[in-house]
Chain A
Amino acid sequence: MRTLLWKEFRENWKWGVLLLVASAIGHAAMQSNERRIALFTTDYLMFAAFGFSLGALLLGVLQTVFEAQRDRWAYLRHRAITPERILLAKVIVGLSLYAVAVLIPLLLLTVWSSIPGKVPAPFHWSAPLNGLVMLLAGAPYWFAGALIGVRDVRWYGTRLLPVGGPIMGTAGMVIVVESVGLPTLAGGCAALIVFAATMTAMAVATAGAFRNRTGYLNQTRRSRWCLALSSAVSLGLLACAALMTIGGTLEDLRLPWMWPSRIVLHEIDRHGRLIRWERAVDPHDPYARALCDLTVVDQGEGIAPSVSVSDLVMSVSLSHGRSDGNPPRFLRRGFGQDGPYRRLGDLWANPRPHHWFFDPNERVLLGYEQRTRRLTWRAGPDGIVPADQPVAQRFSSGPSESVRSSRIVWSGFAEVQRQAGQSLERIKSALDWTQALQFEDGLYLLDHDRPRLSRVYAVEAPDRLIDLAITQRQEESAMWMVHDRVIRKFVLTEGDRVLAPIDPNGHARVTDDLVRGEFTIPNALQGIGQFGFAELPEKNLVVYRAYRDGAAFEQGALHTFVATPEGKILRHIVSNGGSSYHQRVSLFGAVLLPAIPATTLTAWWSPAERLSIPGVPIESVVSPPSREFVIVMWASSLLSLLVTALLVWHWRFSRTSSLGWLAATAVLGPAGLLTLLTLRERVLNVACSGCHKPRPRTSERCPHCGQYFAEPERNGTEIYATLAESKLSRSIAEPVTR
């Protein structure tokens, strides 16, 4: 074993060095934009996901493909060592080289980022976690590469099939970590479990291939199943890509009966109607369909009124995510992609004098100076202090902020100021660098440049500010403050008249005398997606919000309320807001989706209603999945099951094999059938000389009549003689000499 390790290392250390160099260059390139810690960003996550996987794959291929030439393989294979140990030696060397190539630059970058004065952003010890998770996710690709290198298959397409397994592993890792989150113990365990499962499956498949390089049937059952599973994923993805390309091309042709992938939006139109709008992905697609007016319909589907795009009012919500300050999932969510910290404002194109962050543990704002790249300021509700001084008071929660709406908020204020006589240049410069931050205890404006933090709207505990929205029309522009139990409408401008007072800092303030309406709302607002208001001609206020049940998937139900200005709720309508799988995925995807798991999962996944208002019945307008989609999905799944059954019977599989393949097609859908067609060798049948029925070439006796295969033709020249038949003796005159 030691000699094997030595030999593997001597042969392959140069690939390890190349990989290390490439990884180092990649990491350096990631951090070349020095204004953020690259390890937290989505870009790095993508680089890690693709780059590490590709590196491991290439390493696996390079370690095996040269070895797989016939005599060279025979030389390696024929020794007193099991093929599994040969593989083990390769694995140890390969994964070690891979780990070194990835870990060294990763750790160096981590250490470098942690040095104060290098990056104007706060550092957290969880910085290398994204990279480490992707390191684990990339390792199974080594096995895929080894399978590609070692398998001796004639058709080159099938060589690449094993890549599917690790792809599934990466997807699984991402999903699991997204659901559970990092850095947590549960997240780490979940990542390790996915890693172990994927590695085991791929290792089993590779060990089988090392024992028997050609074919599929001559491998052990376990390795066959692992290989088949891997291949099924690849084939599914390939078929998916093919169909989507076809679908996309046909979409471009804009045939009306094609139903491409849909997006569901809820908007309020000028007439105050809540519109459920399903349209194609392209936002400029004028072929929007099936608009539904939820405010006039009791149950079931809506009638399609004629609504044009220009009727839609921009309903603006300030909040766009969680307001509880919890750390984001995959360490790159949350704004600005700065790990557990929340970056306030985007990373602007031009260098800014300061970078501001929210620290969810300390619940203070952190200000880093671009020039020195060090922490220079801290801020609490009372204002900004230098970094070496303690903050008097901390925020009670994290901020909600969306740049787009922040600018709109601010432009609302800017409009106020312009009308109040402030100069345009001053307003413009302030507009660029000032940001509206909505905390639970009020609305603040942060001037990044000076820096300065001021509160324009205060909320006293135990009341909380949940959300705020802006409506801007020619007649009036208003700010809607959503508290725990009450929504207050503040009118800032009426026509040309400015109503909001300007405070000494030059900011407009939101004071109680601006209130034009107050509405009580149902309790327990926990997560806010879309949020908006409109006033109907009958003076009813329509409020709607999306309630997110799970952060990772937009599966939440949409609750819409019709209320009077005084806050009495008249109607409560629940619809499946977001997008369930059958609306997102186009009809072409329906061909590939396996029917049984999809139906089971969605049945389990239907959102529960969590809100109800006493005295108001809930009207449910859950639109069923489109009929065509369900028909196509079930048709294709059943058809592939049927074809699989036919093939299995025709090719005379054993009982276990037949059941296995039928189960695979039932679970995986048409991808299972594709795997059966590509992976498993055809057993050729020839006509039996006895009974003339087709019989497989691989069995000695005919399954019908028991006849053996005919011997090759003899013509009388054959000489078959054993030692006993010939007259040979060896023992004459041979003394014992040595």
Chain B
Amino acid sequence: MTDNVIETCRLTKYYGAKAAVDQLSLTVPRGSVFAFLGRNGSGKTTTIRLLLGLETATRGTARVLGCDSQSLTPEMRNRIGYLTESHFAYGWMTIDECERFQSGGFRQWNRELFDAVIRHFGLARSSRVRHLSRGERAGVCLAMTLAPEPELLVLDDPALGLDPVARRALLEAILFVTRDERRTVFFSSHLLDDVERVADHIAILDGGVLRVLCPAEEFRRRVGAWIVRFEGPVPQLPPLAGLLGVTCLGNEMRVTVANELEAAEVALRSLSGVEIKSVPVGLDDAVVSYMDDRGRRRSLLQTIAGKTTSEPAGISPPDVGNLTPVRGLTPPGSPNE
């Protein structure tokens, strides 16, 4: 039986009139490496701060390790490690003093682990934090987060601003934590390659709304893409359930779909295309298609092309927004009924 280390139920946070986090309900199972994805400003950091009780939710609940986020006791906080987005440490402290300060705040401290991480990054204990580079400071923060050996690691965009070596060390640290199957890692990231490597669960947040919450393989299984080639100009796409995005380039139309893959293929074959080919979808393509405003956005190149040349009459990329059915229902009268 796996219990959930993090559970939220309709968690909502408003800033002014805008909802930064909108009815978020997610669960993070124990022992998983959970990646939390989303664009900048989609509410990831807000969610993390809500989970740790650093912000107050407008409504909804969040529970971490079974304890309500708003009333995390010191014992609970002792079991959670938190790495802030900016890799904060007091500039005036030396690394030794950082250890002294941080170890005073937790009940247990693994000195050898701290030493090992510091040595791996090639840092001297007597150097001051303000003289360290971003990557070195990340190393110090990583050491400070790992040393108390917390049950749950919460990392807010931990690879931000790090060089490839530091990023690799970060991934290895995450894997180190997973050696103990009772320990969980919850992190947010933009680096989809790293996510693909280490994450076994992903969640995608778009505009404060949770769009995806599933194990990583399931995600890959449920997203599919096809390229349909036409002889003449590209026709209007009929309404398609689960349509993620459509791009048109010349005579070819690339369609990305989630969930209803067989139905989508059937619908595409019914078009008057010359050829239809299923293409594999990489993780980053799939994730990006979730974040591009429900297919409304075209590629940057298309936008530039649209602005500098006049489009030939009769050819316009299908407006996906109008085609998207609400609540997964296809409207009556669509061709694939």
Contacts and interface: CB of A to CB of B under 8 A. Distances in A.
Instruction: State if A and B touch, Cβ cutoff 8 Å.
Output: yes
Interface of A: 1-4, 6-7, 10-11, 71-75, 77-82, 212, 214-215, 218, 684, 697-700, 708-709, 711-723, 725-726, 728, 738
10 contacts: A3-B101, A4-B104, A78-B54, A78-B80, A80-B77, A80-B106, A684-B17, A697-B12, A717-B242, A726-B218
A716 B77 CA distance: 38
Interface centre among A73, A718, A720, A722 (most CB of B within 10 A): A718
B218 A725 contact: yes
Contact of B22 (A7, A698, A712, A715): A712
Interface centre among A1, A7, A712, A716 (most CB of B within 10 A): A716
Contact of B54 (A74, A700, A726): A74
Given A718-B212, A719-B213, A7 B90 contact: yes
Contacts of B74: 79-82
Interface string B325-337: 1111000000000
B78 interface: yes
B77 A78 contact: yes
A698 B212 contact: no
A170 B78 CA distance: 41
Interface stretch (B56-64, B191-199, B267-275): B56-64
A717 B244 contact: yes
A79 B88 CA distance: 14
B107 A717 contact: no
B246 to A, nearest CB: 13
Given A716-B259, A718-B258, A738-B179, 14 more contacts: A3-B101, A7-B90, A72-B88, A79-B78, A79-B105, A82-B74, A715-B324, A715-B326, A716-B242, A716-B260, A717-B211, A717-B290, A719-B222, A721-B222
Contacts of A700: 10, 59-60
B23 A75 contact: no
Contacts of B208: 712
Given A709-B23, A723-B29, A717 B58 contact: no
Contacts of A6: 100-101
Nearest to A721: B214
A71 B218 contact: no
B32 to A, nearest CB: 8
Contact of B213 (A71, A77, A720, A738): A720
Interface string B69-101: 010001101101010111011101000000011
Given A80-B74, A716-B327, A721 B213 contact: yes
B243 interface: yes
Contact of A723 (B12, B101, B215, B327): B215
Contact of A71 (B84, B92, B209, B258): B84
B67 to A, nearest CB: 13
A74 B49 contact: yes
Contact of A75 (B84, B103, B221, B259): B84
Nearest to B100: A3
B215 A726 contact: yes
Interface in B208-229: 208-215, 217-219, 221-222
Closest 8 CB pairs of A and B: A3-B104, A79-B105, A80-B78, A716-B328, A721-B214, A71-B84, A726-B218, A80-B74
A77 B85 CA distance: 15
A79 B53 CA distance: 12
A728 B217 contact: yes
A719 B219 contact: yes
Interface centre among A72, A78, A699 (most CB of B within 10 A): A78
Contacts of A714: 326-328
B2 interface: yes
B27 interface: yes
Nearest to B260: A716
Nearest to B223: A719
B254 interface: no
Contacts of A713: 326
Contact of B86 (A71, A709, A717, A719): A71
B215 A80 contact: no
B52 interface: yes
Nearest to A67: B90
Contacts of B23: 709, 711-712
B58 A74 contact: no
Given A78-B52, A80-B74, A712 B10 contact: no
Nearest to B181: A730
B59 A697 contact: yes
A10 B101 CA distance: 12
B294 interface: yes
A718 B105 contact: no
Given A78-B80, A711-B23, A716-B260, A11 B92 contact: yes
Nearest to A85: B74
B5 to A, nearest CB: 13
A2 B104 contact: yes
A30 B222 CA distance: 81
A721 B10 contact: no
A80 B105 contact: yes
A82 B78 CA distance: 11
A709 B10 contact: yes
Contacts of A716: 241-243, 258-260, 324-325, 327-328
Interface in B26-67: 27, 29, 49, 52, 54-56, 58-60
Contacts of A215: 56
Nearest to A724: B2
Contacts of A214: 55-56
A10 B94 CA distance: 12
A714 B77 CA distance: 35
Contacts of B100: 3, 6
B242 to A, nearest CB: 4
Contact of B258 (A82, A717, A728): A717
Contact of A717 (B70, B90, B243): B243
